[in-house]
Structure 1
Amino acid sequence: MSEVRWLSADEQRVWRGFMTAVTKFTEHLDRQMQRDSGMPMAYYEILVALSEAPDRALRMSELALNCHSSRSRLSHAVAKLEKEGWVQRRACDSDRRGSIARLTDRGFAVLEAAAPGHVTAVREHLFDVLTAEQLGSLREISQAMENGLQTECAKARAEIGEF
């Protein structure tokens, strides 16, 4: 086993600051969504993904990928969205093992009502507090982090039989 490369004091400050900012930001967005729209952010993300898909429909496995969710967690969430009448599920025509989730008109109306509050919260607590240069740096940093995790994430999904 190789030696652990411990974080320097400065790296530790950056790490903790990053984690605090991300946690506070996502908690704020979830609270705003719950308060203003009565749903968790995870449900909003599902509605958004479906709204952007052709015919407002996606295979459940593709929807899980788009929402960065496990199939089981997504299935549970979609079941709740079905009860609300916001999403409908049906068997996939080409593969009876798969299923398709489709955003209903009622679900789209809920999404349209929730979007302004969400966009306002994102704008106020991300875009309005950063300079154009900082936003460019954040874009580059986010892409580098995502690129660095692609192989590990793909291995993890394969190990648990997801996707």
Structure 2
Amino acid sequence: MDVMSGTRWLSDHEQQVWRSFNAAVSMLRGHLEGQLQRDSGMPHTYYEVLVALSEAPGQTLRMSELAEACHSSRSRLSHAVARMESSGWINRRSCPTDKRGSLASLTAEGLAALKEAAPGHVEAVRQSLFDVLTPEQVTMLGEISAAIRNGLGPQCAAALAAEDGEPPPEQPH
């Protein structure tokens, strides 16, 4: 019995591109994660949280906004923020306008940790991604990344909502 009947298989060329892309993304993530851990003692997730807060007005975001900015479920983010709070990098407090929500704010210690980690991380990104591409390839990578992100946005939002035990967000018609 063919359990895969109706499945559109990848062509040989698509299979080759997929495997190359998958390997490149995995290797890049591993390289950047290792660089941050080795040089700054923080996982990439923490770095993303610190960056998101540093760029927010007043260096503060609602936890739900922070989760969205970091492409994370609120429950997963909450664990990371708790650990960062114990390190003194983030303060959390109740939202004054909505008692169900909470706000996360970057502390001076968190900003100092980000400023210390950023140069090495930016250099690792530059060397491992941008320096190996031509300017045209960088433009194409941006366009390709946007197309993938836009295509996956609704599905990822639904998956993160499900992980948080919430109904999926409404999709525009």
Q: What TM-score, normalized to structure 1?
A: 0.95
The corresponding residue for 2:34 is 31
* Alignment partner, residue 94 of structure 1: 97
Alignment of 1:80 with 2:83, yes or no, is yes
The Cα of 1:153 is off from its aligned counterpart by 2.4
- Residues 77-104 of structure 1, C-alpha deviation per residue, up to 9 Å, x if partnerless? 0000010000000000000010000000
* Residue 161 (structure 1) aligned with residue 166 (structure 2): yes
**Counterpart in the other structure of 2:14:** 11
Deviations 1:20-55 (A, max 9, x none): 000000110000000000010000000000000011
Q: Which residue of 1 aligns with 2:136?
A: 133
Deviation of 1:149 after TM superposition, in Å, equals: 1.3
List alignment gaps of at least 5 residues for structure 1: none
Structure 1 residue 158: deviation in Å?
4.5
Letter in 2 for 1:71: R
| Percent of matched pairs sharing the same residue | 61
CA RMSD of aligned residues (A): 1.5
- Corresponding residue for residue 126 of structure 2: 123
Deviations 1:125-158 (A, max 9, x none): 1110000110111011011111111232233344
Q: Distance in 1 between matches of 2:47 and 2:142?
A: 23
Any idea what the Cα deviations from partners look like across 1:36-77, whole Å, max 9, x if unmatched? 000100000000000000110000000000001111110000
Match of 1:64 in 2: 67
Give the whole-Å Cα distance in 2 for the aligned partners of 1:75 and 1:137. 35
**Which letter does structure 2 place at the counterpart of 1:84?**
S
- The Cα shift of 1:15 comes to 0.3
AA aligned opposite 1:12: Q
Superposed displacement of residue 2, structure 1: 7.1
Equivalent in 30, 46, 52 of residue 49 of structure 2:
46
Q: Name the count of aligned residue pairs.
A: 163
* Equivalent position SS for 2:104: strand
Partners of 1:131 and 1:79 lie apart in 2 by 41
Q: Distance in 1 between matches of 2:155 and 2:45?
A: 23
Contact 2:73–2:161 (CA<8 Å) still a contact in 1? no
Please give the alpha-carbon distance, in whole angstroms, between the structure 2 residues aligned to 1:142 and 1:2.
Answer: 31
